[in-house]
Amino acid sequence: VPASRSFIRLPGRCVRTAAGGLLRLGAALAATVLLHGTVGAADPAGTPADSTARGIARYREAVADSNPGELWEVRGEALWTERRGPRNVSLEGCDLGKGPGVVDGAYALLPRYFADVDRVMDLETRLLHCMMTLQGFTRAQALRRPFGAGALRSDFEALAAWIAGRSRGLEMDPPQVWPKEIEAYRLGRSLFFVRAGTHDFACHTCHGQSGRRIRLQELPDLLDPASVRAIYGSWPAYRVSQGEMRTLQWRMNDCFRQQRLPELVFGSDVSVALITFLAVNARGGIVDAPGVRR
Amino acid sequence: VSRRRPARACTAIAAVLAFAGAAGCTGPAPSASGAAPGAAAGAGTAAPAASGAAAAGLPDASLLAWMRESFVARGQAGLDRLDQDDTQRRCSMAAARGGLPPDEAESIRRDNQALLRIPTGPLAGSWTRGEAIAQNGVGRQFSDPPDVPSGGNCYACHRLSAQEIAFGTIGPSLHQYGRLRAGVPREILERETYGHIYDAQAYTACSLMPRFGARGILDDAQIRDLVALLLDPDSPVNRP
């Protein structure tokens, strides 16, 4: 659960949002969220979450023609083609797995093994690799801002939104062919059960059962492929509560923060293994990114 | 694979307390291979040169050693947070295997009973302070100031007062907790309640609930306030 949350209390009602999260949206959209995100009267268990889910669904409808995520997609496409970095080259030479510069359909096949680095990489780890090897950024330069915060925007979030969007409508089909691809899945599955830290939390603590919620947030059962298929394709996602585009690297990082563990390194083997575990469980699910989530 | 409940010493009191809903160790058994089309093929052919961890497919010591390399210390969260204690290690393995054998559960429960530190005398503090602790999710994250006391964040997983509708369902509802146990002698009820908050695994091995006292998340005064939140007749937990 995010540490900082603000509550807007209305008579007999309670609306949860994050401070400033709605600032990016126009007043009309904000009103939509506030109205439909509002949870109902204090009666039976189960109702509030249903109501929240319905609210988000209505919000998605309301913004269907103007998903705020499009702002990130537009910037992501520009970042892909723009000549940047010490070498002043674009990312158009970046091989996302289907050959240099091929973006269409690439996301549906990630993570995958890349022979040039002898490693499995997810989209963001591959982008980091290309920023360093093609554009000449140092690791520290490229990772100056992996996750955006308001005006301080992340290039990864924009690039990931655009690239994932170029697989929209396709089925997730990350390969399990190379030994390291198979190994990454198995490592991801093992990591899922690791309990550690002050609170004894594992991924499994919150995501090992179906039909549970934390506060009002519904928790997907990530051991159930049907459940993973239903959500994986909506990442990267515009988070209404944060007013930000969020990626899977962010999701992994922030889950470990909430597990009270140290910080997960962007593009690390653990991050790639967990994303591989999810992506393979999501096989057959349709990419609908960038999505809209609470 | 059938669900297995951890064996518990079912004294009459424990039965009355009935925290069983929190016995979360045995979630749905993970499918062995269904989700991983290639996993079976990889069992013998994968080259786990980078990490022996993959070979076993279990959260063992080699996995933990490998895992560490992907983390950096930040704020108050040092890499020592990845040092598992014996309970964490055994419960991780049990969850990955999809079951906790009864003798293993009993052994974990005994280990955690040895960690219990329940003071003598009355144990109920202030339910109003308890409610604030139950609402508070701050603490122990790398983004949290290290000096600020942790909350219990009870509502993240439990229903408590009927007025708070933003409650989670990972743990059982605790609404009416005290009223439903009105027949239990007060002293015993206070001790058992304090003990469950202090270290739930002293009662239910591999419970999903943090061991708030044993792991130093909450101090004695905070746990007493939560005992009051659960037991005080005037607490919203025990009101309609």
Per-position DSSP letters for B15-71, written without gaps between them: HHH--GGG-TT--SPPPSSTT-TTHHHHHHH--TTS-THHHHTS--HHHHHHHHTTE
- Residue A104 is encoded by which pair of tokens? 């269409």
Return the pLDDT at B102: 97
Q: Which residues of B touch A42 (CB under 8 A)?
A: 162-163, 165
Minimal Cβ distance to B156: which of A48, A176, A215 = A215
Return the pLDDT at A71: 93
**Cβ count near A184 (within 10 Å):** 32
Cα distance between residue A270 and residue A192, in whole Å = 10
Alpha-carbon gap: B131 to the closest alpha carbon of chain A (Å): 15
Cα distance between residue A220 and residue A228, in whole Å = 7
- Residue A29 is encoded by which pair of tokens? 């959209």
Is residue B143 within 8 A of residue A3, CB to CB? The reply is yes
Contact B63 A45 (CB under 8 A): no
Return the pLDDT at B39: 36
Contact A269 B83 (CB under 8 A): no
Alpha-carbon gap: B116 to the closest alpha carbon of chain A (Å): 16
- Residue B220 is encoded by which pair of tokens? 């004695």
- Return the closest-CA partner of residue A123 out of A88, A157, A173: A157
- Return the closest-CA partner of residue A25 out of A72, A67, A76: A67
Segment 118-137 of chain A within 8 Å of chain B by CB: none
* Any A CB within 8 A of B157 CB: yes
pLDDT band at B223 (very low <50, low <70, confident <90, very high): very high
In the sheet with A291-293, reading across from the earlier edge strand, the strands are: A244-246, A237-239, A291-293
First-last CA distance in chain A: 13
Cα distance between residue A263 and residue A146, in whole Å = 13
Q: Where are the beta strands (DSSP E) in chain B?
A: 71-72
The number of CA neighbours under 13 Å toward the Cβ of A13 is: 14
Q: Give helix then strand counts, H and E, for chain A.
A: 11, 10
Phi and psi for A257 in degrees, rounded to 5? Answer: -60, -45
Phi and psi for A196 in degrees, rounded to 5? Answer: -160, 180
- Return the closest-CA partner of residue B229 out of B99, B129, B91: B129
Contact B137 A257 (CB under 8 A): no
Q: Which residues of B touch A280 (CB under 8 A)?
A: 35-37
Is residue B202 within 8 A of residue B17, CB to CB? The reply is no
Cα distance between residue B80 and residue B57, in whole Å = 23
The predicted-structure confidence for B89-119, as pLDDT tens digits, reads as follows 999 999 999 999 999 999 999 999 999 999 9
Segment 24-53 of chain B within 8 Å of chain A by CB: 24, 27-28, 30-31, 34-39, 41-42, 45-48, 50-51, 53
Residues paired with B25 in a beta bridge: none
Taking each helix axis from N to C end, the angle separating B86-97 and B102-113, rounded to the nearest 10 degrees, works out to 160
- Residue A117 is encoded by which pair of tokens? 């680095």
Contact B28 A206 (CB under 8 A): no
What residue has token string 């070498």? Answer: A87
3-class DSSP assignment, residue A120 = strand
Return the pLDDT at B21: 36
Cα distance between residue A273 and residue A279, in whole Å = 10
Does the annotation count A255 as an active-site position? Answer: yes
Cα distance between residue B138 and residue A14, in whole Å = 20
Q: Provide CB contacts within 8 A for A120, sequence distance 6+.
A: A111, A112, A113, A114, A178, A180, A181, A183, A184, A272, A273, A276
Cα distance between residue A172 and residue A105, in whole Å = 9
Contact A189 B57 (CB under 8 A): yes
Contact B28 A223 (CB under 8 A): yes
- Return the closest-CA partner of residue B35 out of A110, A202, A229, A168: A229
The predicted-structure confidence for B31-47, as pLDDT tens digits, reads as follows 333 333 333 333 333 33
- Return the closest-CA partner of residue B150 out of B74, B57, B222, B60: B222
Alpha-carbon gap: B83 to the closest alpha carbon of chain A (Å): 7
Is residue B231 within 8 A of residue B177, CB to CB? The reply is yes
Q: Which amino acid, one-letter code, is at B26?
A: T
Which of A232, A260, A266, A276 is most worth mutating to test chain B (most B CB atoms within 10 A of its CB)? A260
Return the pLDDT at B201: 98
CA triple B60-B62-B64, angle to 5 deg: 70
Which of B167, B169, B206 is most worth mutating to test chain A (most A CB atoms within 10 A of its CB)? B169
* Any B CB within 8 A of A6 CB: no
Return the pLDDT at B15: 36
* Any B CB within 8 A of A3 CB: yes
Q: What is the DSSP letter of B171?
A: S
Is residue A24 within 8 A of residue A37, CB to CB? The reply is no
Q: Which one has a higher pLDDT value, B170 or B56?
A: B170
Q: Is B235 exposed, middle or buried (0-12, 13-18, 19+ CB in 10 A)?
A: buried
Cα distance between residue A14 and residue A106, in whole Å = 42
Contact A280 B155 (CB under 8 A): no
Q: What is the mean pLDDT of each run of 10 residues along chain A (294 residues)?
A: 32 33 37 34 46 71 76 97 98 98 98 98 98 98 95 96 97 98 97 98 97 94 96 94 94 97 98 98 96 85
